[in-house]
Amino acid sequence: MYDSSDSFSPAQPDFVRQIRSHIKNLQTELDSRRTAFEASVAPLEAHIRQYQSMLCPCHSLPTEVWGEIFKFVPTLRKFTEEDSFVVNIHPNSSEYPWNISRVCRRWRMICITSPNIWNSVSLTKMDRFTSGTNSILSAVLERAITSPSLHIRLDFTSFSLEYLPTMQEYLPRITHLHVEGKAKEFARLTTILPLSNLRELTVRVFAAWFSFSDNDSDDIENEDEETGSQWDDEPLDCMPILRSFQSCPKLRVLGLEVDMDGMCAEAEPIDHAALTFPWSQLAELTISWPNNGGVLAPLYESCENLEKLSFDGYAYSPASPHHWEAVAQVVLPKLSSLDLQNVPWGMPQSFVCPSLDTLCIGSICYEPDVMDMGYRGEGEYGV
């Protein structure tokens, strides 16, 4: 290299030769560095090709947009009634939302901080209390705490009441509640739950049929008293069950279901006046009830603002027309949808529904009884 203080004159010997030699050395060094640079770039290009998928535009989406997208993931598959409660309290890497939260660090953070992903929880297979499941329950409910709604499905057939203290803080935030189990399992719940924000409630009671006989036949209908067959919960009394859920001043939708697997057992009537449900505020009422469950007209009369009423009884009708007693008519001025299936004798003889636009009636009673009633002039069922 030449210093700036050096001076040359074209007259000096070998000046041109020295300059050319110096330029050649610089060219050689430049070529060497270019070769080294190209060698270092090759692995980087290979890495870029390998992780090209990570450079797609979707990674520039805001966190809030990802949260909205994740909410619609469950709708991509068909649901059963149980599936409608999205979050299974038992983590499974193949189930939503646990599968999404395990894709990458960012998706996990989005899932954890999006309350609408965790606001629909299924509490099943929790018959044995464990600290691990209790911690998961607490974490899931905490993630949903800022959501405007909280949907809970509670299965008392496999639920330990030891989890209730963990849920106590979140009970007033529940807006939709589906509870099910046998009457004896509901009896373990001795306190009224504080459901101050509950808007929709479904109570489903399983009436258990069992037999003391040694006959393993699947044809339950052929079993009778001689074989020792009977209902486990007979007579079925749902009043103690309903009392635990009656502290819900904002309730608008109520479903009362008795599941008897197509059989017909004795059931105590619903004394609606003894319950503090806001009957007059209900907009929708669904009842699946034994046909011998008492007169239902007083209950309907108290639901004066009903917009939708559905009743599904069991295949039972009076043996003769004189059992079909006339019950006072019920006036429901706001009712727009009426669905009556397997209508029992305890139903009103007629509904007055000036706003009705949807009507579905099926299996009122046996056709011979209807004909006999008409011929004898003992009344008719009308809407």
Rounded CA gap, 56 and 39, in Å? 27
**CB contact at 8 A, 152 and 121:** yes
Q: Given this model, what pLDDT does residue 228 score?
A: 42
Q: Given this model, what pLDDT does residue 372 score?
A: 41
SS (H, E, C) the chain: CCCCCCCCCCCCCCHHHHHHHHHHHHHHHHHHHHHHHHHHHHHHHHHHHHCHHHHCHHHHCCHHHHHHHHHCHHHHCCCCCHHHCCEECCCCCCCCCCCHHHCCHHHHHHHHCCHHHCCEEEECCECCCCHHHHHHHHHHHHHCCCCCCCEEEEEHHHECHHHHHHHHHHHHHCCEEEEEEEHHHHCCCCCCCCCCCCCEEEEEEECCEECCCCCCCCCHHHCCHHHCCEECCCCECCHHHHHCCCCCCCCCEEEEEEECCCCCCCECCCCHHHCCCCHHHCCEEEEECCCCCCCCHHHHHHCCCCCEEEEECCCCCCCCHHHCCCCCCEECCCCCEEEEECCCCCCCCEEECCCCCEEEEECCCCHHHHHHHHHHCCCCCEC
205-224 confidence digits (pLDDT tens)? 887 655 444 444 444 444 44
Task: Report the 10 Å Cβ neighbour count for 178.
Answer: 21
Average pLDDT over residues 85-107: 79
**CB contact at 8 A, 69 and 96:** no
Q: Given this model, what pLDDT does residue 233 score?
A: 58
**CB contact at 8 A, 192 and 244:** yes
pLDDT > 60? residue 29: yes
231-245 confidence digits (pLDDT tens)? 555 667 778 888 888
**Full-model pTM:** 0.71
pLDDT > 50? residue 371: no
Taking the mean position of all CA atoms in its chain, how far away is CA 102?
22
Q: Given this model, what pLDDT does residue 284 score?
A: 96
Q: What is the percent of the chain where pLDDT is above 70?
A: 71
Average pLDDT, the chain: 76
> Which of the residue ranges 34-43, 136-145, 355-364 would you say has the lowest mean pLDDT?
355-364
Average pLDDT over residues 117-146: 89
Pairing state between β 230-231 and 209-210: antiparallel
Q: What is the percent of the chain where pLDDT is above 90?
A: 18
pLDDT > 70? residue 158: yes
Q: Given this model, what pLDDT does residue 380 score?
A: 39
What the block records as the tokens of 79 is 């649901």
